[in-house]
């Protein structure tokens, strides 16, 4: 896209790339944001004078550590541990932990950077952070996962705390891992405190936290559809992934009258034209959360198509919800989606669309809800979990769900406020980036040179 600010954007990016070589996902996330923020900062010189953009791309602190652990054979294993404390202008660092063999510094910096804007959009007082390890939980026994988590937390516990930095789950980190991490923190510090979110309901967790990201991304899709006087009723929805976010997106879409026809994992996708109803979803939850099996087994059980090594974007739909990982929709796949009649994308995953795919959506004028707005429901309910922990009190399911719905509505309204175009349509990328930026930037300026 030709932009009057191209030269400034290129100059800014050249410096970011030179200072952070080889962190390609971080470059991608920063580029997407500064494309909208550089023109905004030019119109609002207080941000330029204070060099807010130059400061906001530099993490406040990066912690790298060794994680040694013993496998079931008694052999020593070594992984890398990371925590990126990106920005604490509006609250303690907050963001998930990812355990996946692809994890590296650039991926976690992109996630921490996105988290700063996302957390600001929720309206709750949370800064941005992210962490994790290149540990692969797949194929490990519960005991191996526990020993890894205990070793990981032994170091991480020195850097986090309920008023400092509050991690949660992400890919490869769910209820089981949060339990082991929490247990070790408590043991080391002798404190029962809200240092992690996504905890079990019996020990300080919040109702609706497991559901929140998938539910929130569905509520966001519904908000976008409402701008065109439409609802989810009767719509065909293609979802990728089959983990936490995909499962609860499937549940909520179905409840709201849509039909989810695909799910995937890193091996391939299933296509069930009859729709993944409540009963089939129960099976998926057992398959993925208890048996820890492959999505292929769904096709065998319910006698539907399975496409090995493929992503689901060739399946005809009105709505697509990428809920697996970054860069999982490329330019060609975006074109295919649109050619097949898709006109609404709500991203449960972080940065699932490549920059080329985003350009395709934008040129086609479809409803495009980017991750930092559409998937903010998860961290929003994490924020509500922190509030409940501080109050030593628990809200009901209905109360938390109502708060989540209101937060998603407000995020949508913020996107409209900053992203409404002259023709009345909404540029959600611009809306979310500027909407998330303003509060953090103002707080950074108010707090002096930090």
Q: Which residues bind ligand 2IT (CB under 6 A)?
A: 94-96, 115, 118, 168, 170, 197, 350, 378-379, 382
Nearer to ligand 2IT, 113 or 368 (CB): 113
Answer for which of 348, 369, 431, 436 binds ligand NDP (CB under 6 A) is 348
Task: Map residues 306-335 to x or -, x wherever contact with ligand NDP holds by CB under 6 A.
Answer: -----------------xxx----------
Residue 403 binds which entry of ligand 2IT, ligand NDP, none, CB below 5-8 Å type-dependent? none
Beta carbons of 103 and 188 less than 8 angstroms apart: no
Strands of the sheet with 268-271, listed across from one edge: 305-308, 268-271, 259-265, 236-239, 319-321, 344-346, 367-369
Other Cβ atoms closer than 10 A to 112: 28
By CB under 6 A, tell whether 77 contacts ligand NDP.
no
Residue 219 to residues 119, 256, 307, 409: CA-CA distances in angstroms?
17, 9, 29, 8
Nearer to ligand NDP, 41 or 263 (CB): 263
Q: Is 13 exposed, middle or buried (0-12, 13-18, 19+ CB in 10 A)?
A: middle
Listed in sequence order, the residues at least 6 apart from 184 whose beta carbon sits closer than 8 Å to its beta carbon are 149, 150, 153, 154, 157
Answer for which of 242, 389, 414, 433 binds ligand NDP (CB under 6 A) is 242
By CB under 6 A, tell whether 337 contacts ligand NDP.
no
Residue 94 binds which entry of ligand NDP, ligand 2IT, none, CB below 5-8 Å type-dependent? ligand 2IT
End-to-end CA gap in the chain = 34
Catalytic status, residue 130: yes
Listed in sequence order, the residues at least 6 apart from 305 whose beta carbon sits closer than 8 Å to its beta carbon are 270, 271, 272, 299
Residue 184 binds which entry of ligand 2IT, ligand NDP, none, CB below 5-8 Å type-dependent? none
Whole-angstrom distance, CA of residue 237 vs CA of residue 250: 9
Residue 303 CB, shortest distance to ligand 2IT, in Å, is: 34
Nearer to ligand NDP, 258 or 377 (CB): 377
Binding to ligand NDP (CB under 6 A): which residues in 146-205? 169-172, 174
Residue 90 binds which entry of ligand NDP, ligand 2IT, none, CB below 5-8 Å type-dependent? none
Residue 242 to residues 1, 63, 294, 353: CA-CA distances in angstroms?
34, 31, 9, 18
Answer for which of 127, 378, 431, 436 binds ligand NDP (CB under 6 A) is 378
Nearer to ligand 2IT, 56 or 360 (CB): 56
The residue count of the chain comes to: 450
Q: Which residues are catalytic?
A: 130
């Amino acid at each position: 896209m030709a932009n009057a600010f191209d030269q400034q954007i290129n100059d800014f990016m050249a410096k970011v790339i030179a200072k952070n070589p080889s962190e390609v996902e971080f470059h991608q996330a920063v580029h997407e944001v500064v494309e909208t923020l550089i023109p905004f900062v030019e119109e609002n010189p207080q941000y330029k004078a204070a060099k807010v953009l130059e400061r906001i791309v530099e993490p406040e602190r990066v912690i790298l550590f060794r994680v040694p652990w013993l496998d079931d054979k008694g052999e020593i294993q070594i992984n890398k541990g990371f925590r990126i404390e990106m920005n604490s202008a509006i609250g303690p660092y907050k963001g998930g932990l990812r355990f996946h063999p692809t994890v590296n510094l650039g991926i976690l910096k992109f996630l921490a950077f996105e988290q700063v804007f996302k957390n600001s959009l929720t309206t709750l007082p949370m800064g941005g952070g992210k962490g994790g390890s290149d540990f692969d939980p797949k194929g490990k026994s519960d005991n191996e996962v526990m020993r890894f988590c205990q070793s990981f937390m032994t170091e991480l516990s020195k850097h986090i705390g309920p008023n400092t930095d509050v991690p949660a789950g992400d890919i490869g980190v769910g209820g089981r891992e949060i339990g082991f991490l929490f247990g070790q923190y408590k043991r080391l510090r002798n404190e029962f405190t809200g240092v992690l979110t996504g905890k079990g309901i019996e020990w300080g967790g919040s109702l609706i936290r497991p559901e929140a990201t998938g539910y929130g991304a569905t509520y966001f899709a519904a908000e976008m559809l409402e701008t065109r006087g439409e609802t989810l009723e009767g719509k065909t929805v293609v979802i990728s992934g089959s983990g936490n976010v995909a499962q609860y997106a499937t549940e909520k879409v179905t409840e709201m009258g849509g039909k989810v026809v695909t799910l995937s994992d890193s091996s391939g996708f299933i296509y069930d034209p009859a729709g993944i109803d409540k009963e089939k979803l129960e099976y998926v939850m057992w398959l993925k959360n208890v048996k820890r099996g492959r999505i292929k087994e769904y096709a065998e059980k319910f006698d539907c198509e399975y496409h090995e090594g493929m992503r689901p974007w060739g399946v005809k739909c009105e709505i697509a919800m990428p809920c697996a990982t970054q860069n999982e929709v490329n330019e060609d796949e975006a074109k295919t989606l649109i050619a097949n009649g898709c006109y609404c994308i709500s991203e449960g995953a972080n940065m699932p669309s490549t920059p080329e795919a985003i350009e395709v959506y934008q040129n086609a004028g479809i409803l495009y809800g980017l991750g930092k707005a559409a998937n903010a429901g998860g961290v929003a309910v994490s924020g509500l979990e922190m509030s409940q922990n501080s109050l030593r009190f628990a809200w009901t399911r209905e109360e938390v769900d109502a708060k989540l719905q209101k937060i998603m509505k407000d995020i949508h309204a913020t996107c409209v406020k900053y992203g409404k175009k002259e023709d009345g349509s909404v540029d959600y990328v611009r809306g979310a980036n500027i909407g998330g930026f303003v509060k953090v930037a103002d707080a950074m300026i108010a707090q002096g040179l930090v």
